[in-house]
Structures are given as structure tokens and as C-alpha cells.
Chains A and B, each alone.
Chain A
Amino acid sequence: DGGITQSPKYLFRKEGQNVTLSCEQNLNHDAMYWYRQDPGQGLRLIYYSQIVNDFQKGDIAEGYSVSREKKESFPLTVTSAQKNPTAFYLCASSIGTGGPSHNEQFFGPGTRLTVL
């Protein structure tokens, strides 16, 4: 059964700690994305990766880091430099950068991060 998994579903961390959110896909997609969702603000792009070993900053990359060592995995680290990390984090993937349909994004179930 193909799809995107994110773990954990709920995550709590103490202020000043780094935390890593997992995102795995078995859709054989080249491109992967991380979004942050806050109430009333929609989704904002943090980082995206179009191919293994390559990634680009999105609109709100400060305080976050990513890696793309494997095609199926795109973990997001929320560092202590992120001033307001409490949010709902969504991972997505798409086939790649070919024709218009290749960029349709499929979303994971999300991870809710709360900083105590």
C-alpha cells in the first residue's frame, strides 16, 4: 500500500532542544517537501528536495535543517534556533519536475510538535 508516513504523530520537546521529524515515502517520488501549518496562516514551505542529495530553502527555512540521503526519506530537524516551533508539520512528495501532473503533491498525515 503506497503512501507517505510521518512519525511520530505527536511530539513534545523542551525549549532549547533539537528534534527530528521523520518522513518516509514508498511512492518512488523524486521530489519531497516540508510545510509548516499554523492556525489561520495556511501552509508555508520550509524546505524542498527535487532529487537525492539536493535540497533548497523554502519561504521559512530559518531554524530548520533537512537531509536527503535516500530517495524515500526526507527528515526535518527543528533546531533550538527556531523561535516558535510549536506547529503542525506536513510532509509531501511528488513524482518530480516533469509535466504538470508530475508536480501533484501527496501529503502525509502530519506531526504535531509542541514545545513545552
Chain B
Amino acid sequence: AQSVTQLDSQVPVFEEAPVELRCNYSSSVSVYLFWYVQYPNQGLQLLLKYLSGSTLVKGINGFEAEFNKSQTSFHLRKPSVHISDTAEYFCAVRRTGTASKLTFGTGTRLQVTL
């Protein structure tokens, strides 16, 4: 089975500062990796995903993430955040192959202030 760890439950940051949200996973097999964003009282929206190929993945809203197989990490980054980026961010992993379930981390609350 696979698991996901998001060590930071909350990350406060000032507007226009860079941010990194950490995600580490554990799996004995190859995986696909995802980052989702959730605004208050809404569903989840896919930010970006790693399926194969280049380890640097670019997503929506200026976010990017880098897959590091040796460190089993998939950290999310943005060079300059905005107030509107305030939300909950979830990392998720899925075993490659068919009919495999998504396993989510516990989420990181990004709080952007002026």
C-alpha cells in the first residue's frame, strides 16, 4: 500500500513571497503523483500531476512541483504567492496501472497575508 505525508499542517506566508509545500510518499511500486487545491467549502481542483517524463511539472496558477524519486518527494512551489492562493492543498498518490485508488495526504493550509 502507499501513503502520503504532508508534514506541514499550516504554512503562513506574506504576499509576493515564495512558498514550498512539502509532500513525501511511501510506496513499493511506481506511482503517479498529484496536487489538488481546495478553497473554503468547495470541492478539490487539480493543480498538477506527474505521470511520467520530465520530473519538473508545471500546473495552473503559477504552481510547479518536482518529482524526486530518490527522496520520494513531490514538493509544490510557487515563486510569488497572492492573497487568492489562500487555500488547503492536498498531495495524492496512486499506484500505476489500472483501477487504482488515490491516497491523499492530510493537507496543508496555506495562509497568505499582506
Contact = CB atoms under 8 A, between A and B. Distances in A.
Interface stretch (B11-19, B41-49, B55-63, B65-73): B41-49
B9 interface: yes
Interface residues of B, number: 25
B104 A110 contact: no
Contacts of B9: 40
Interface residues of A, number: 26
A58 interface: yes
A110 B43 contact: yes
A50 interface: yes
Interface stretch (A12-20, A78-86, A94-102): A94-102
Contacts of B104: 42-44
Contact of A90 (B43, B49, B96, B107): B43
A90 B32 CA distance: 21
A17 to B, nearest CB: 23
B90 interface: yes
B44 A90 contact: yes
Interface of B: 9, 32, 34, 36, 41-46, 49, 51-52, 90, 94, 96, 98-102, 104-107
- The list of the 9 closest CB pairs from A to B, nearest first, reads A107-B43, A42-B104, A42-B106, A107-B44, A43-B104, A97-B99, A97-B98, A100-B51, A109-B43
